[in-house]
Structures are given as C-alpha cells and as structure tokens.
Chains A and B, each alone.
Chain A
C-alpha cells in the first residue's frame, strides 16, 4: 500500500530555476528506494518534499494519505526521519544524551518512553560510552552515527538518508551497511540518496534516476544500470561487478550481487559451466 506519493510535482525556486519537473512517484510501505543522479539533478529537492520542507509549486505530495501542504514539517517528521548530509548542521546539545532526547521531546513523548528509546539508541549505535559527552568532540564517523541514532530513537516509519557514505572509510561504511540491513528488516520505508553505486549495488533497491529535475528511470536496479546510454546521459556510473558481468561472454542469468557470488561462479566455471 502506497505510503509516499508524488503526483505531477514541479518545483520552481524563487530565482526562477526549475528544480523538479512533473515528478510522479509512488512508494509502498517497506520499500527501499535509491535515488541517483548528478549534483543539481533534483535529488535533494525531491527529498525535501517528503517531509514538507519544500512544498510543490505544482502537483501534490502525499504522506500516508495526507497532503504535505496541509500540515507542517514538524508533524510530518514524526513519520518521516531525514538524515542530512552534514552532522555539524544539527548537533548543538551539551550532551549526547540531550541530543538524542531533543526530537522525542519535541514530539511530546513521555519521559519514560524518552528514556527507553534513548537507552536503546545509544546501545544500538555503540555510543553508550559518550552518553554524557558533548556531541561536538566526537569524530566524524561517530557524529554521523549520532545523527542516525537521534532519528531512529523516535522510530519514524520512513527514513531518508542523504548521502550517508560520503567521506566514510571502509569500516564505517560496513557499519552503515549493517544498520541499513536492520532498518530494512524492521520493515521501514527507506529513501537512499547516494552517488556510491558500489554501496547501492548489493542492496538491490528500487532505483530512481534523476536528471535535469525529471525522473528518467524508475525500476529494478539491475535492469536500469545495464543501460549504458541512459546512465551516460544522467552522468551516473556503473558498479564494477556489473561492468564485469556485461563483459563476460559466458555468464549466469543474473548479475553478481557481491564479490563472493562472483568468486563462486567464476571459480566454479572452471569445472562446470553455467552454475548460475
């Protein structure tokens, strides 16, 4: 059942620049949607419409049946948690504890519930030892985890991640991948804006490609990413494993999702062909 819906949405800035042009999108509960495209294609603008930070100049956005024009960002945020790219644009409290409590208090949670969720969030994100520390002294990776902790503490149905892997090293990315898989397993609806096609590929999300403010592709990632011409036009790169798959003369029916799958098939190839 449709949770988030964009109906013919266009958005024009005050400066006259058109950031979104006739975008229509329907996302069901529990879906994972990845949004890709070059900088300026409209990804961030699109995502800001989901929690009402921006209201369409034409068309409408519906969150769980409610038109975003008829409510406030604060109300929508109860259901839609957006993790912005820069943690330094959010963190301000004297302690990590208070930082996590901030949103929950804004939403009117009971103190008991706030404590419970706080304990869970700190434990899950491995931030318990920083409970009383100032958020400003954490490292870059820890700050990113803290912003996610703040959001998941209030348990929104929809989670929007804006470029979560930028500037992260391999270990941090792995941790992020684990958190992501957990989100999926708890049935959350997830929007993932990312340049990092290697991070996206194993997840196999529904893929939405944006270019020049329009949606130029929407569907299975394996199908869309195989279309070199489309990707070139939208200035999106292909994942390496897919490029490898495309270049092989003999190959399984579906592309390799990760290195282990590729190794198993290629390694097995020597003994018996067509193991996929």
Chain B
C-alpha cells in the first residue's frame, strides 16, 4: 500500500476548521486545549498523535460537538464543520456531519442486535422506516457485516464489534469521521483489516477521517497528514514522512516507528537517503542500491 499522499492530488475545499480554539474544563485550572488552529480538507486522512494528556480527546470532542453541548466550560475560539459552527448547531444536525467512534466499541452498541443498533442514530433523526431499512442494509454491505445483522453484541468478536460500532456511525452519512484509538484493543492483523477498511471508505466514498493513534506504523501508509499535540497545543503538522523525519518529534512522546528513528539517526550522521522510507522493505531496497 503506497502512501496515499503520493497517489492522490491534494485535498479539495476545507471541510473542518478550528480557529484559535482554547477550552478549559470547569473544574480544571489549566486549559486542555490551547490556541489550536487546524484545517482539514475534504477527503483527507489526518493522523493525530501525542502523549497521554496532550488534549487529543478534548479536541475530538470539540469537533463533534460534545464540547460544548454536553461538556460546557470556558470556550474560546471557534470550530466549524461543513460550514456549520459547532457551538451554535444542535447535536442532531452535527451528528449528520461529524461522526465520532470512541475507543471501546462495547460501549457504543446499545441494542440487542447489530442491525437495530445501526438504525439507532437514524431512529433519533426520525428517518422513515423504508429509508432506514435501505440505509442499514447498505451500511452493512459496505462494512461486510450483513451476515451479522441479527447477532447480539456479546456474540461478536472484537473486530466485529468494531465494525458494528463503525456501521452505527456511518449510517448517519457524516462527511467527517473521527476515530479515537480504533486499534488499541485489537491484535495487529485485525488492526490492519480496520485500517484497510478506513482506506477503502476514504477512497470510495470520499469520507474525511481524523484518527487518533499511538500505533503510528499502522496508519502512516494511508494518512495524508500527521498532527502532533503536546500540552494542549498543536506542535507539528505536515505529511507523515516529513513530521517523523523531523528529530523534534521524538521529544514529544510520540511512538516513532523504528524505521523512522533509524532514518533520523542516519541522516544526523550525514548519510544521504533519497527520502524517508515508508516501510522497512523500502529502506532495505535503497540501502542495497548503494
């Protein structure tokens, strides 16, 4: 899977825009997010990384509207998605523009069967039954879980639960989907399957993704951008290879994959390499050629 940034020409118009956002929870002395500016273009896959407590989770909730609607606090600056100002738009409208998939799929599946759970969001939006049926079937087909329609959540494997939870979000047809550490509870092979699913959705349906992850090596092949946060502020932002090839990144508590660490170490010693390698095999190829 070569890096998508090389294959596709860059983004369309801006889909989400975060403008000088600062947010402080009511019972906290310090802001969780400090003067963050970020623009996400249509069709992009943005990887968001940073140490624990850097404000990633807070930022996600500011984008999908949980902040300030469910979690009020000291809110300055603005966030808009699809032309809508998040702080001024009700959750029912926001839910159709931004979807948020939390870390643990177990706690996002409410109903006793997969297909009814997928319909959950549509029910809340008063979608008529016929259309609901179509959307649910389509979504299940898209994620390859049609066979699981009648299953109960406790009968599903971790990977299947992940897909079922994602289906529940996708059924609402948001243009932007945020994933909060989608692979942390999965084994590496299942994680790779989830990543190719994200890539497929991005490529075929043009859905924009913001993914928070510690396990960067899984997401780098499909990400257009890597944004690093630390202490509530955005500290780095650019194509993944550029950011990881910048030696500052290691100081921010980001799990840099060994190949990139090696590339940085070699570059520091003066070894000239054509460009930062995506995979160990690429690096081996280049070294063999010398």
Contact = CB atoms under 8 A, between A and B. Distances in A.
Q: Do chains A and B touch in the complex (CB under 8 A)?
A: yes
B271 A240 contact: no
Given A167-B184, A240-B217, A258-B258, 12 more contacts: A40-B157, A139-B53, A168-B52, A198-B258, A235-B189, A244-B259, A244-B262, A244-B281, A248-B287, A263-B262, A263-B266, A267-B271
A166 B185 contact: yes
B36 interface: no
> 6 shortest A-B CB distances, which residue pairs?
A247-B284, A243-B280, A244-B280, A235-B189, A263-B265, A170-B255
Contact of B266 (A195, A240, A267): A267
B269 interface: yes
B188 interface: yes
Interface string B259-290: 10110011001010000000111011101101
A103 interface: no
A241 interface: yes
B280 A247 contact: yes
Contacts of A215: none
Given A169-B52, A170-B254, A267-B269, A240 B187 contact: no
Given A167-B184, A267-B269, A172 B158 contact: no
Given A38-B189, A259-B261, A243 B281 contact: yes
A105 B157 CA distance: 39
B257 interface: yes
A33 B279 CA distance: 28
Interface string A249-270: 1100000001110110011011
Nearest to A260: B265
A170 B51 contact: yes
A98 interface: no
B257 A240 contact: yes
Nearest to B285: A247
Nearest to A234: B189
B60 to A, nearest CB: 16
A140 interface: yes
Contacts of A249: 288
B288 A270 contact: no
Interface in A163-221: 166-173, 195, 197-198
Report which residue of B186, B253, B280, B283 has the largest number of chain A beta carbons within 10 angstroms of its beta carbon. B280
B237 interface: no
A167 B214 contact: yes
B190 interface: yes
Contact of B280 (A38, A39, A240): A240
Given A141-B52, A247-B284, A259-B258, A170 B185 contact: no
A259 B265 contact: yes
B51 A169 contact: yes
A241 B258 contact: yes
A8 interface: no
Contacts of A269: 287
Contacts of B266: 263, 266-267
A126 to B, nearest CB: 15
B180 to A, nearest CB: 11
A115 interface: no
A197 B218 CA distance: 13
A161 to B, nearest CB: 17
A172 B51 CA distance: 9
B35 interface: no
A235 B53 CA distance: 32
Contacts of A248: 284, 287-288
A236 interface: yes
A88 B56 CA distance: 22
Contacts of A258: 258
A130 B226 CA distance: 35
A244 B188 contact: no
Contacts of A247: 280-281, 283-285, 288
Interface in B177-196: 181, 184-190
B256 interface: yes
A260 B258 CA distance: 10
18 contacts: A39-B186, A167-B181, A168-B52, A170-B253, A170-B255, A173-B255, A235-B187, A235-B189, A236-B188, A237-B189, A241-B262, A244-B284, A247-B284, A248-B288, A266-B271, A266-B287, A267-B271, A269-B287
B262 A259 contact: yes
A139 B53 CA distance: 9
Interface string A221-249: 00000000000000111011101101111
